[in-house]
Amino acid sequence: MTDLSPASTAADPSTTAAAAVRAVREVPDRVSLDGVEARWDGAWTEQGTYAFDRSATREQVFSIDTPPPTVSGSLHVGHVFSYTHTDVVARFRRMRGAEVFYPMGWDDNGLPTERRVQNYFGVRCDPSLPYDPDFEPPHVGGEGKSVKAADQVPVSRRNFVELCERLTVEDEQQFEALWRRLGLSVDWGMTYQTISAEARAVAQQAFLRNLSRGEAYQAEAPGLWDVTFQTAVAQAELEARPYPGAFHRVAFHRAGAEPVHIETTRPELLPACVALIAHPDDERYQHLFGTTVTSPLFGVEVPVLAHPAAEPDKGAGIAMCCTFGDLTDVQWWRELQLPTRSVIGRDGRLLREVPEWVTSPEGRARYEEIAGKTTFSAREAVVAGLRASGDLDGEPQKTDRMANFFEKGDKPLEIVTSRQWYIRNGGRDESLRAELLQRGQELGFHPDFMRVRYENWVGGLNGDWLISRQRFFGVPFPVWYALDADGEPDYDHPLLPSEDQLPVDPSSDVPAGYTAEQRGVPGGFVGDPDIMDTWATSSLTPQIAGGWRSDPDLFARVFPMDLRPQGQDIIRTWLFSTVVRSHLEHGSLPWADAAISGWILDPDRKKMSKSKGNVVTPMGLLEEHGSDAVRYWAASARLGTDAAFEVGQMKIGRRLAIKVLNASKFALSFGPAEQGASALDASLVTDPLDRAMLAGLADVVDRATAALEAYDHTRALELTETFFWTFCDDYLELVKDRAYGAGAGAADVTPETASARAALSLALDVMLRLFAPVLPFATEEVWSWWREGSVHRAPWPVAEPLRAAAGDGDPAVVGAAGAALAALRKVKSEAKVSMRTEILRARLEVPASLLPGVQVALGDVRAAGRVTGPLDVVEVPDSADAAVVARDAELLPPEPKQPTA
């Protein structure tokens, strides 16, 4: 006897018990999807269905570096979309016999949480204040309106972090409830936070090791600065946006010669000008190279230099280099070794002191007029001065220039000089860049075309990774500085903690050899005031989730991880930064594969995002359509492909889930409820139509498995769904009469009836497992009617036992027989009679290619079509549009209606 039960195909013997067939089926009289999410989530939690077994070896584990959502915001349908893709992978791998490490993290540090906590509790962070262990916030968000910034109570950074942790716990509970409703098969006993003590210790330990190896360093250098949030911004956080401006044609003076005109959108930076620069091949300015010119209004002499980055066809073809107007200025400043003459401060205003390089009385007077002004006001004043002096050639010409913005900001970034922390990422090291490009070649991208985004980003880097931020809620740098007799920090010899002291907060903790009273006084110490960029922590999610610092045994079982699922827009940030940290710390990739989801588009084909205000919150969708339906919509889109938000697709998914329930109830209605394990006895399958169906199902198993192995969940779903609807529309109808036999309760079952019943059970068993990753609730519901344990712990189906049961069965038989049945039904439909109407005689004209299949299943075709008399089958030639056609059909006349009294 060939046993097709899951126990016989399991890769892991532990699944045997979970795969047992119930002694008695418990099929409900009425099937419904109502309440399945709450019922099965509770059961999965109670039974530990998705609990990770940490005794598994690394070879047995499939580990996932799950994206930690930002809990300071709200989840939207785009999250549901991409996290469903991940869950399909997790469920498939678990059924394939792997022990799946699938934790959930919460990204709760960074600016969004900081601002939310300020408003919610009515506090603001002041790192200079001491920690108050008894502090209670003056306000709680639910008690009224948010407190104005001016009325917020200052607290220490440690107090502020505690309030952040307190609020994010509440947010995390809401997020977890939604993820559970969606059916994510996460081990909820293995969650992490990016601001927890463990995460802070991991981030600080990794930083200290970067520092000791020379990969992290501190430098006073020009960098992008957001004047609103008062923080440095990394290259990966930039957004280029159009910004209204105007070109000003401005004259620089030459002794005894015609002036040189440049065009600029930022005339307020004239006092910061350090050179005029043109392309070395531009013949118009060849004679000027090596000479000097004098800036208008401010009278500062600057050189005229050549650089290949100058654009001859842009503006006047010669540009002023200021420190600093844009990133090209930084490039010229660095490569041509120009002086630094910064005039814009961190507050976005011009410095209040007249610069030392402005020496003429007229120039100093001009500068005093703009000192302390915003860049906008200073621009107006400078333009007025240029117009009055005659140095403005014509009027400004309006334009939309592309300006760099912080992704969360609404004002163009400035470039200011400040002391910041960096990690080497290949932006200034060709050797390291080549190594990181090679890592990109080693990483499996799904889809593969996403690889070019990684390569373009790495190839286009122009500086190292700026990881310090001038904010409060985040991981502080574990660094102090000794103060000299004048109270100046010694940045060249930082004071560092040992790894066993981590995590530390330099604003409240004291370095070894000092006392708290020495903080901030000459001869004492001062803590580094900055925190790490949120990506500097998130880039360590494999280490945080895997227990790199605190649980080396677990880390050895899960790292390097198998999969990083994420969105395409953070390849340059999260994916790349994680590769950098793993390469530097472990000399390896952090994972073997990266699965990249596309975007969700609104009805106008625009990307859904919270910043655009066009997102849809998911809980209402889950409640209205059901979780399986929403998951079906998400799984219908391939990785890397943008998908439209379609409620219609969710309705199709709900219809499919309901059909799974109804078809399963129907298939389980044949035979006695006490049928037990014999239901899966493949040796009972003897009928050619049944064998043909199982042969087709074997093909689906092979192809769907290959698709899922290649991270093509959409193809696997298409294959399974197509087979399922053919199974319902054709096979079930064809085999129904034979499966009933002499009646469901008959003691003597014919071999033909036993074959049909066994084939139905075997097919249902396999199809439930094929659908389980996408429709976890409907499949678990059906599984519980007749199987022990969970379908999600049953082994993934394999084709070999199905092929053994199918023998020489030809999958084409089902389609041919279905076409013949459809032809008979068409006759009844055109006659507008019931499908149960008997056909007294008919002739089927069958294309030659379909004839063998129809002949093999003719008995089932007759029974399903209610043909009680002669049924002649005639072969006709094949053609492109050939179809089975019923001719000369005679229907049993309907009984005359009885007269009403």
> What pTM, to 2 d.p., does this model score?
0.83
Percentage of the chain beyond pLDDT 90 is 70
Distance CA 32, CA 776 (A): 14
Give the pLDDT score at 10. 35
Residue type, 567: G
What are the E-state strand segments in 750-856?
839-847
pLDDT confidence of 256, banded at 50, 70, 90? confident
Give the pLDDT score at 17. 34
pLDDT confidence of 880, banded at 50, 70, 90? confident
Q: Are strands 191-193 and 153-155 parallel, antiparallel or unpaired?
A: unpaired
pLDDT confidence of 611, banded at 50, 70, 90? low
Each residue's pLDDT tens digit, 664-706? 999 998 877 766 666 789 999 999 999 999 999 999 999 999 9
Give the pLDDT score at 230. 75
pLDDT top residue among 536 and 228: 536
Give the pLDDT score at 614. 60
Assess whether pLDDT exceeds 90 at residue 213. Answer: yes
Each residue's pLDDT tens digit, 833-877? 999 999 999 999 999 999 999 999 999 999 999 999 999 999 999
- Are 632 and 774 within 8 A, CB to CB? yes
Assess whether pLDDT exceeds 80 at residue 300. Answer: yes
Q: What is the CA radius of gyration of the chain?
A: 36
Percentage of the chain beyond pLDDT 70 is 92
Assess whether pLDDT exceeds 80 at residue 317. Answer: yes
Residue 81 structure tokens? 């979309």
Distance of CA 581 to the CA centre of its chain: 20
CB environment 76-106: b (16+ within 10 A), e (fewer): bbbbbbbbbbbbbbbbbbbbbebbbbbbbbb
Identify any residues that bridge with 405 across adjacent strands, giving them in sequence order: 239, 412
In degrees to the nearest 10, what's the CA dihedral of 837, 839, 845, 851? Answer: 90
**Distances from the Cα of 395 to the Cαs of 265, 266, 511, in angstroms?**
12, 14, 60
Residue 227 structure tokens? 């004047």
Each residue's pLDDT tens digit, 404-458? 887 767 788 888 888 889 999 999 999 999 999 999 999 999 999 999 999 999 9
pLDDT confidence of 169, banded at 50, 70, 90? confident
Distance CA 216, CA 167 (A): 32
Each residue's pLDDT tens digit, 722-745? 999 999 999 999 999 999 886 545
Give the pLDDT score at 487. 94
Identify any residues that bridge with 596 across adjacent strands, giving them in sequence order: 566
Q: Are strands 561-567 and 591-597 parallel, antiparallel or unpaired?
A: parallel
Alpha-helix residue ranges (DSSP H) falling in 183-294? 197-212
Alpha-helix residue ranges (DSSP H) falling in 324-476? 327-335, 361-370, 375-389, 430-442, 451-459
What are the E-state strand segments in 396-488?
397-406, 414-423, 444-446, 465-466, 468-469, 480-482
Identify any residues that bridge with 388 across adjacent strands, giving them in sequence order: none
Give the pLDDT score at 8. 37
Nearest to 412 by CA among 420, 422, 400: 400
Assess whether pLDDT exceeds 90 at residue 615. Answer: no
Q: What is the DSSP letter of 570?
A: G
Assess whether pLDDT exceeds 50 at residue 3. Answer: no
CB-count exposure of residue 743 (10 Å: 0-12, 13-18, 19+): exposed
CB environment 457-470: b (16+ within 10 A), e (fewer): bbeebebbbbbbbb
Assess whether pLDDT exceeds 80 at residue 616. Answer: no
pLDDT confidence of 788, banded at 50, 70, 90? very high
Distance CA 734, CA 473 (A): 66
* Sequence-ordered list of residues with C-beta below 8 angstroms from that of 46, at least 6 positions apart, any chain: none
CB-count exposure of residue 878 (10 Å: 0-12, 13-18, 19+): exposed
Each residue's pLDDT tens digit, 97-108? 999 999 999 987
Q: Helix axis angle, 77-95 relative to 627-635, nearest 10°?
A: 90
Assess whether pLDDT exceeds 90 at residue 126. Answer: no
Q: What is the DSSP letter of 822?
A: H
Q: What end-to-end distance do the CA atoms of the chain give, in Å?
A: 62
Alpha-helix residue ranges (DSSP H) falling in 216-337? 327-335
Mean pLDDT of the residues in the chain: 90
Which H or E run contains 158?
A: helix 157-182
Assess whether pLDDT exceeds 90 at residue 11. Answer: no
pLDDT confidence of 612, banded at 50, 70, 90? low
Mean pLDDT, to the nearest integer, of 233-239? Answer: 71
Which H or E run contains 652?
A: helix 647-667
Which H or E run contains 244?
A: strand 238-254
Distance CA 350, CA 326 (A): 16
Distance of CA 258 to the CA centre of its chain: 59
Assess whether pLDDT exceeds 90 at residue 360. Answer: yes
Which H or E run contains 124?
A: strand 123-125
* Sequence-ordered list of residues with C-beta below 8 angstroms from that of 4, at least 6 positions apart, any chain: 680, 682, 762, 765, 766, 801, 802, 805
Distance of CA 653 to the CA centre of its chain: 22
Nearest to 717 by CA among 760, 660, 668, 756: 660
- Are 232 and 225 within 8 A, CB to CB? yes
Assess whether pLDDT exceeds 70 at residue 4. Answer: no
CA angle 619, 598, 116 (to 5 degrees): 50
pLDDT top residue among 568 and 417: 568
Task: Examine residue 777 and say whether the peptide bond preceding it is cis (omega within 30 degrees of 0).
Answer: no
Distance of CA 640 to the CA centre of its chain: 10
Give the pLDDT score at 110. 66
- Are 535 and 207 within 8 A, CB to CB? no
Assess whether pLDDT exceeds 70 at residue 800. Answer: yes
Give the pLDDT score at 753. 94
- Of 203-217, 224-238, 457-471, 648-662, give the lowest mean pLDDT range: 224-238
How many Cα atoms are found within 13 Å in the side-chain-facing hemisphere of 246?
15
Give the pLDDT score at 298. 97
Q: Please state, as a whole number, how many other Cβ atoms lie within 10 Å of the Cβ of residue 858.
A: 17
Q: What is the DSSP letter of 752?
A: H
Q: Are strands 61-63 and 480-482 parallel, antiparallel or unpaired?
A: unpaired
Each residue's pLDDT tens digit, 46-56? 999 999 999 99
Mean pLDDT, to the nearest integer, of 626-632? Answer: 96
**Distances from the Cα of 843 to the Cαs of 415, 864, 872, in angstroms?**
85, 16, 5
Q: What is the DSSP letter of 682?
A: G
Identify any residues that bridge with 846 across adjacent strands, giving them in sequence order: 875
CB environment 377-397: b (16+ within 10 A), e (fewer): ebbebbbebbeeeebbeeebe
For 150, the 3-state DSSP assignment is helix
Give the pLDDT score at 232. 74
Assess whether pLDDT exceeds 90 at residue 900. Answer: no
- Of 324-333, 352-361, 398-407, give the lowest mean pLDDT range: 398-407
Distance CA 55, CA 705 (A): 27
Q: Is 390 left (phi over 0), alpha (psi -120 to 50) or beta?
A: left
